[in-house]
C-alpha cells in the first residue's frame, strides 16, 4: 500500500465503504420485508413447515462438510508453507479459505432464510395487488444480491489492504473457500430439490394427474423446501462464488502486471464498487417504473445500472488510469452479459423458435420431444461458445501488442465488467423461487384463484430470469478460467526458477501436441461427464424413493379423499438423505482429480487437464441448462392450450420432457460451474508443489505415492456411488 497515491488510498477505502453500505442496505431491506403481513394461520403453518425443513437441511449439510473444511484448512496452510511461503502468508491463505467458505455459506443461508420468510408474505400480498407482491419478492431477492456484492467486495479488498503485493497467494484461498462451499450447496441443494420435484411429479402429475403442490401429495412440502435449498441457497452461493473468483483473478493478474503501479489492481476494485452503487440504484428503481410488467421493470433497471456503470467506468478509465483500453475491456464484459441474456432468452423463452419447435414435436410423442430437445440443447452450446469466443477475442484485440500478461488481464477485466451487476442478477433470480413458493403455499392452503394467478405470473417471469443467471454464471466460469490460466503458468515458472531450473526450460506453456499432455486433456474432458452422471443418477435414485413413498401413502383411501393429512416429514427426510449421500464424494472428486493428474502426469498435463475440464464443462453445462429450460417452457406452451392443451397426449409428452430436463437444468448443469472453478483453483494452488515434486528425482516417489493414494480414494468414491444404484 506504500506506493498508493492519496487518491488511490481514498479510492480503496471508498470501496470498503461501498461494500459496507451494500450490507447496510441489505439489513434495511430485511426489516422492510419482515414488517409485512404474514398471512393467515393456515398459510403460516405451511410456511413454518417449509422453513423448518429448509433450515434443518442446510444445518445438516454444513455439519456434513465440517470435517472436510477443517482438513482442507490445514492442507491449504501446507500448500503455501511447503512451497516455501512466509508464515503469515500460509496462515493468511488458510484464514482466507475459511473466510471465503463462511461468506459463501452466509450468502446461501441468509438468502434462503429471507426466501422462506418472504414466501408467505408474498402469498398474502398477492391477495391485495401485483405491485405489492412483486415489491416484497424482489426486495427479498435484493437482500441476497446485496450480500453477494458486499461480502465479495469486502473480502477481496480487505485482503488486498492487509497483504498488498503478496495478496495473490492469499486471494487464492479466499476464492477456493467460496467456490468449494458453492459446489456443496449446488450439488446438495440440486439433488434435494430435484429428488423432491421429480419424485412428486412421477406419482402426482404422471400417474394420478393431480396438480403440482396438491396438499395430498406427501412430497409437497419437500418440493417447496427444495426450491429454497436449491434455487435460493445453491444459486446464491454459486453467484457469490462467480463474483468473487472473477475479482480474484483480476486482482492476481493486475498485481502481476506492474508491481509498482497500483492502478491495474485498484481499477477493478473501483469498477466493482461503482457496479454495487449502480446495482443499488437500479434495484431500487424496480418498483418505480411506470409499468405493470415485472420482467420489463427488472430489465429496465438492469439497463439503468448498466448505463450508470458504463459512464462511470469511462470517467475512471480516462481520468484515473489514463488508458481507455481498460474501459473497453470492461465494457466488453457488460456487452457479454447483455449478449448472453438475449441468447439464453432466445433458446428458452416460449416466444421463440426453439421452444416452439419442441412444443410442436410433442405431437408425435415423448421420443420426438426428447430428440428435439437434445438437438436444440446441442445447438445452443455452439452459440454460447461463439459469444464467449467473441468476448475473449475482443479482450485480446483491445490489448493487442502489449504482451500476453496484458491480454490475460484484459480477459479478467471482461469478467469484472460482466459480473458488475450481480446485485441485479441475483435480485431477479431469487425472486422466481420466492414467487414459486408463495404459489405453492397458496395451492396448499386453498387460496383464491385470482391471488394465485398473480403469483403464477411472477413465477413464469422467474423461470426466464433463472435461466439467464445460469447462463451468466457459466460464461463467467470460462472467462475466469482463461484468465486464471495465466496465474497457473506464472506459478509454475516462478516455482521452476526458485528451484534453479532454467525458466527457458521445456515448460513455457501447455503443449497439447505432446501425447502425455494430450492425455491430461482427455482425462479433463471426462470429469464433467462423470460428475454429471453421478448427480443425474443421484436425483433418479432420490426421485424413485420419493415416488415409492408418495405412492405408499396414497394407498390410504382417507388421504385420497383429503380427510387424512399426509406425513410430509418422511419425504423431507428421504430428500435430505439422498442429497447428503453424494455430497462429500463429489466434493472430493473435484478437489482430488487435479491433484492426482498433477502428481502422476506432471504440471503441463495438469494445465491441459484444466483446459479439458473447462471446455467440456462449459459445453455440458450450457447444453443441460438450455435443453432443460426449453423443455420446461415447451410444457408451458402446451399448458397454455396449444396442441390439445392440458391432459392431451401432447401434454403428457411435454411432461416427460420437463421431467428429464429438471435434473439437467437444476442439478447437474449448475453444479458444473463451481466444479470448473474448484478444479481451476486447486490446480493453481498446487502447481508450485507439483513442480517441486516432479522435478526433483529423489522426491518423485512421494508424488507417485500420493498420486496413487488419491487415485484409490477416487476409485472408492466412484465405486460407492455406483454400488448404491
Measure the CA–CA gap between 139 and 301, rounded to whole angstroms.
13
Nearer to a copy of itself, 315 or 529 (CB): 529
Residues recorded for the chain: 725
Residue 507, classed as helix, strand or coil, is: coil
Answer for the pair 239, 473: CB distance below 8 angstroms, yes or no. Answer: yes
Q: Which residue has 436444440 as its cell numbers?
A: 376
Nearer to a copy of itself, 24 or 715 (CB): 715
Smallest distance, a copy of itself to C-beta of residue 660, A: 5
Smallest distance, a copy of itself to C-beta of residue 499, A: 20
Nearer to a copy of itself, 301 or 532 (CB): 532
Nearer to a copy of itself, 18 or 655 (CB): 655
Q: What DSSP line would sit under 163-201, residue for residue?
A: HGGGHHHHHHHHHHHHHHHHHHHHHHHHHHHHHHHHHHH
Nearer to a copy of itself, 518 or 643 (CB): 518
R_g of the chain computed on alpha carbons: 25
Smallest distance, a copy of itself to C-beta of residue 135, A: 37
Smallest distance, a copy of itself to C-beta of residue 277, A: 31
7 grid coordinates: 487518491
Smallest distance, a copy of itself to C-beta of residue 440, A: 21
Nearer to a copy of itself, 162 or 206 (CB): 206
CA 274 to chain CA centroid, Å, is: 23
Smallest distance, a copy of itself to C-beta of residue 639, A: 17
Dihedral angle over CA of 116, 118, 122, 124, nearest 10: 80
Nearer to a copy of itself, 208 or 314 (CB): 208
Nearest to 282 by CA among 314, 308, 254: 308
Measure the CA–CA gap between 89 and 95, rounded to whole angstroms.
10
Smallest distance, a copy of itself to C-beta of residue 395, A: 8
Smallest distance, a copy of itself to C-beta of residue 374, A: 6
Smallest distance, a copy of itself to C-beta of residue 690, A: 15
Nearer to a copy of itself, 403 or 446 (CB): 403
Nearer to a copy of itself, 180 or 370 (CB): 370
Q: What DSSP line would sit under 547-591, residue for residue?
A: HHHHHHHHTSHHHHTTSS---HHHHHHHHHHHHHHHHHHHHHHHH
Q: How many CB atoms lie within 10 A of CB 312?
A: 17
Nearer to a copy of itself, 19 or 606 (CB): 606
- Mark residue 402 as left, alpha or beta (left: phi above 0; alpha: psi -120 to 50; beta: remaining): alpha
∠ CA 429-432-437, nearest 5°, is 140
Smallest distance, a copy of itself to C-beta of residue 576, A: 21
Smallest distance, a copy of itself to C-beta of residue 489, A: 5
Q: Which residues contact 616 (CB under 8 A, 6 or more apart)?
A: 524, 525, 526, 527, 528, 529
Nearer to a copy of itself, 236 or 655 (CB): 655
Smallest distance, a copy of itself to C-beta of residue 3, A: 29
Residue 525, classed as helix, strand or coil, is: helix
Enter the DSSP assignment of 524.
Answer: H
Q: How many CB atoms lie within 10 A of CB 590?
A: 25
Nearer to a copy of itself, 618 or 633 (CB): 618
Nearest to 412 by CA among 245, 297, 525, 576: 245
Nearer to a copy of itself, 170 or 664 (CB): 664
Smallest distance, a copy of itself to C-beta of residue 316, A: 24
Nearer to a copy of itself, 206 or 706 (CB): 206
Measure the CA–CA gap between 514 and 249, rounded to whole angstroms.
28
∠ CA 389-395-400, nearest 5°, is 120
Nearer to a copy of itself, 36 or 372 (CB): 372
Smallest distance, a copy of itself to C-beta of residue 502, A: 15
- Scored b (16 or more CB within 10 A) or e, 507-544 reads beebebeeeebebbbebbbebbebbbebbbbbbbbbbe
Q: Please, what is the angle between helix 130-163 and helix 422-444, to 10°?
A: 140
Smallest distance, a copy of itself to C-beta of residue 220, A: 19
Measure the CA–CA gap between 304 and 298, rounded to whole angstroms.
10
Measure the CA–CA gap between 469 and 430, rounded to whole angstroms.
10
Measure the CA–CA gap between 97 and 177, rounded to whole angstroms.
4
Amino acid at each position: 500500500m506504500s506506493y498508493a497515491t492519496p487518491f488511490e488510498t481514498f479510492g480503496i477505502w471508498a470501496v470498503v465503504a461501498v461494500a459496507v453500505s451494500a450490507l447496510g442496505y441489505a439489513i434495511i431491506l430485511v426489516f422492510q420485508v419482515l414488517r409485512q403481513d404474514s398471512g393467515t394461520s393456515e398459510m403460516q403453518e405451511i410456511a413454518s413447515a417449509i422453513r423448518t425443513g429448509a433450515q434443518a437441511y442446510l444445518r445438516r449439510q454444513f455439519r456434513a462438510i465440517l470435517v472436510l473444511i477443517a482438513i482442507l484448512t490445514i492442507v491449504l496452510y501446507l500448500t503455501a508453507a511447503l512451497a516455501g511461503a512466509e508464515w503469515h502468508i500460509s496462515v493468511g491463505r488458510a484464514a482466507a479459505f475459511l473466510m471465503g467458505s463462511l461468506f459463501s455459506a452466509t450468502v446461501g443461508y441468509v438468502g434462503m432464510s429471507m426466501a422462506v420468510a418472504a414466501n408467505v408474505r408474498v402469498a398474502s400480498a398477492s391477495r391485495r395487488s401485483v405491485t405489492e407482491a412483486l415489491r416484497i419478492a424482489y426486495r427479498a431477492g435484493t437482500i441476497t444480491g446485496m450480500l453477494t456484492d458486499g461480502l465479495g467486495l469486502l473480502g477481496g479488498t480487505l485482503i488486498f489492504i492487509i497483504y498488498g503485493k503478496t495478496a495473490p497467494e492469499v486471494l487464492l484461498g479466499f476464492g477456493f473457500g467460496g467456490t468449494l462451499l458453492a459446489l456443496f450447496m449446488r450439488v446438495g441443494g440440486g439433488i434435494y430439490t430435484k429428488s423432491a420435484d421429480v419424485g412428486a411429479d412421477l406419482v402426482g402429475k404422471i400417474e394420478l394427474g393431480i396438480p403440482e403442490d396438491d396438499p395430498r401429495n406427501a412430497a409437497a412440502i419437500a418440493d417447496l423446501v427444495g426450491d429454497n435449498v436449491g434455487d435460493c441457497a445453491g444459486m446464491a452461493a454459486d453467484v457469490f462464488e462467480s463474483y468473487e473468483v472473477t475479482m480474484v483473478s483480476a486482482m492476481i493478474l493486475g498485481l502481476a502486471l506492474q508491481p509498482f503501479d497500483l492502478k491495474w489492481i485498484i481499477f477493478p476494485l473501483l469498477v466493482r464498487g461503482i457496479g454495487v452503487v449502480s446495482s443499488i440504484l437500479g434495484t431500487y428503481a424496480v418498483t418505480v417504473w411506470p409499468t405493470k410488467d415485472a420482467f420489463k421493470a427488472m430489465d429496465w433497471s438492469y439497463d439503468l445500472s448498466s448505463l450508470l456503470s458504463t459512464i462511470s467506468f469511462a470517467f475512471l478509465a480516462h481520468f484515473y488510469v489514463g488508458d481507455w483500453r481498460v474501459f473497453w475491456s470492461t465494457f466488453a464484459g457488460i456487452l457479454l452479459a447483455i449478449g448472453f441474456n438475449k441468447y439464453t432468452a432466445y433458446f428458452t423463452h416460449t416466444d421463440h423458435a426453439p421452444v416452439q419447435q419442441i412444443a410442436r414435436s410433442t405431437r408425435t410423442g415423448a421420443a420426438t420431444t426428447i430428440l428435439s430437445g437434445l438437438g436444440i440443447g446441442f445447438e445452443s452450446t455452439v452459440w454460447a461458445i461463439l459469444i464467449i469466443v467473441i468476448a475473449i477475442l475482443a479482450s485480446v484485440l483491445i490489448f493487442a501488442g502489449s504482451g500476453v500478461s496484458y491480454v490475460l488481464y484484459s480477459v479478467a477485466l471482461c469478467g469484472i465488467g460482466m459480473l458488475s451487476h450481480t446485485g441485479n442478477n441475483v435480485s431477479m433470480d431469487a425472486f422466481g423461487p420466492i414467487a414459486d413458493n408463495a404459489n405453492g403455499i397458496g395451492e396448499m392452503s386453498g387460496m383464491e384463484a385470482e391471488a394465485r394467478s398473480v403469483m403464477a405470473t411472477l413465477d413464469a417471469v422467474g423461470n426466464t430470469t433463472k435461466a439467464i443467471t445460469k447462463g451468466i454464471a457459466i460464461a463467467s466460469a470460462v472467462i475466469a478460467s482463461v484468465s486464471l490460466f495465466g496465474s497457473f503458468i506464472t506459478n509454475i515458472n516462478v516455482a521452476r526458477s526458485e528451484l534453479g531450473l532454467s525458466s527457458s526450460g521445456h515448460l513455457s506453456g501447455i503443449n497439447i501436441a505432446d501425447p502425455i499432455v494430450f492425455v491430461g486433456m482427455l482425462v479433463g474432458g471426462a470429469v464433467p461427464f462423470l460428475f454429471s452422471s453421478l448427480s443425474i443418477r443421484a436425483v433418479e435414485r432420490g426421485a424413485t424413493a420419493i415416488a415409492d413413498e408418495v405412492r405408499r401413502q396414497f394407498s390410504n383411501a382417507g388421504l385420497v379423499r383429503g380427510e387424512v393429512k399426509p406425513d410430509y416429514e418422511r419425504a423431507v427426510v428421504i430428500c435430505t438423505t439422498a442429497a447428503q449421500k453424494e455430497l462429500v464424494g463429489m466434493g472430493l472428486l473435484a478437489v482430488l482429480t487435479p491433484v492426482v493428474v498433477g502428481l502422476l502426469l506432471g504440471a503441463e498435463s495438469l494445465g491441459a487437464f484444466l483446459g479439458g475440464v473447462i471446455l467440456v464443462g462449459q459445453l455440458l453445462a450450457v447444453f443441460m441448462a438450455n435443453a432443460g429450460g426449453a423443455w420446461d417452457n415447451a410444457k408451458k406452451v402446451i399448458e397454455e392450450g396449444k396442441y390439445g392443451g392440458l391432459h392431451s397426449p401432447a401434454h403428457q409428452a411435454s411432461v416427460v420432457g420437463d421431467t428429464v430436463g429438471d435434473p439437467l437444468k437444476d442439478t447437474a448443469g449448475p453444479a458444473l460451474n463451481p466444479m470448473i472453478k474448484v478444479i481451476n483453483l486447486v490446480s493453481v494452488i498446487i502447481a508450485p508443489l507439483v513442480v517441486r515434486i516432479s522435478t526433483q528425482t529423489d522426491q518423485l516417489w512421494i508424488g507417485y505415492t500420493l498420486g496413487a493414494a488419491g487415485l484409490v480414494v477416487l476409485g472408492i468414491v466412484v465405486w460407492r456411488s455406483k454400488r448404491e444404484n
